[in-house]
């Protein structure tokens, strides 16, 4: 799904959760940030290549909006890092490992981690075999579930329509948050 929708869905979840639990604004903001973050690291090799190598800003933009099979050609090493970083941030195996380590060490981070999990959970169903299926079981396999690509026009429209209704409902039912 696109980063704006990821942020809006996580935001809605946080608003709802704050009605029940005490979640400080800083933690709430971090949770939304964590819902957006998984779509950033894989662009770093491309940006690096455009700044220090032969790439250009146009290629970065093309990469960010790429359609599978039509990704602009980049050197093999850039492709390798970009692909694997994308897999790492979209893998439930990696997220599970990080979550278990944090569970024992810094439990305050558990709420922001839910932002990351929301990103993976949403992406699994909103990417298709033809459109970057989410590699949820990486590093065991790069294969993913064949869902509905989020950029399918009717789905994109429906998603933002449901988001608008969700925020309207949140607004109409607003109460004082606990924190």
CB of 123 vs Zn ion, minimal distance in Å: 4
Q: Residue 21 has what DSSP assignment?
A: S
Dihedral (C-alpha) 67, 70, 74, 80: value to the nearest 10 degrees?
Answer: 60
Looking at the Cβ atoms of 74 and 123, the one nearer to Zn ion is 123
CB of 64 vs Zn ion, minimal distance in Å: 12
Q: Quote the CA–CA distance of 31 and 25 in Å, as a whole number.
A: 10
Burial of 82 (0-12, 13-18, 19+ CB in 10 A): buried
Looking at the Cβ atoms of 59 and 123, the one nearer to Zn ion is 123
Query: Contact at 8 Å (CB) between 76 and 82?
Result: no
Looking at the Cβ atoms of 2 and 177, the one nearer to Zn ion is 2
Looking at the Cβ atoms of 71 and 177, the one nearer to Zn ion is 71
Choose among 146, 125, 150: nearest CA to 3: 150
CB of 33 vs Zn ion, minimal distance in Å: 14
Residues numbered 31-50 forming contacts with Zn ion, rule: CB under 5 A: 39
Q: Is 123 in the site for Zn ion (CB under 5 A)?
A: yes
Q: Which residues bind Zn ion (CB under 5 A)?
A: 39, 123
């Amino acid at each position: 799904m696109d980063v704006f929708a990821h942020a809006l869905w996580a935001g809605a979840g946080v608003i709802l959760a704050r009605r029940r639990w005490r979640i400080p604004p800083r933690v709430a903001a971090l949770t939304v940030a964590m819902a957006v973050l998984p779509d950033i690291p894989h662009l770093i090799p491309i940006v690096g290549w455009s700044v220090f190598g032969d790439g250009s800003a146009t290629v970065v933009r093309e990469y960010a909006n790429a359609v599978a099979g039509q990704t602009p050609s980049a050197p093999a090493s850039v492709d390798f890092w970009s692909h694997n970083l994308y897999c790492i941030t979209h893998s439930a195996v990696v997220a599970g490992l990080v979550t278990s380590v944090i569970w024992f060490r810094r439990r305050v981070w558990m709420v922001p981690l839910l932002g990351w999990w929301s990103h993976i959970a949403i992406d699994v169903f909103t990417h298709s075999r033809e459109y970057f299926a989410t590699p949820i079981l990486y590093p065991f396999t790069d294969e993913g579930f064949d869902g509905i690509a989020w950029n399918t026009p009717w789905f994109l429209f429906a998603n933002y329509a449901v988001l608008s209704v969700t925020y309207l409902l949140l607004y109409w039912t607003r109460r004082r948050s606990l924190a």
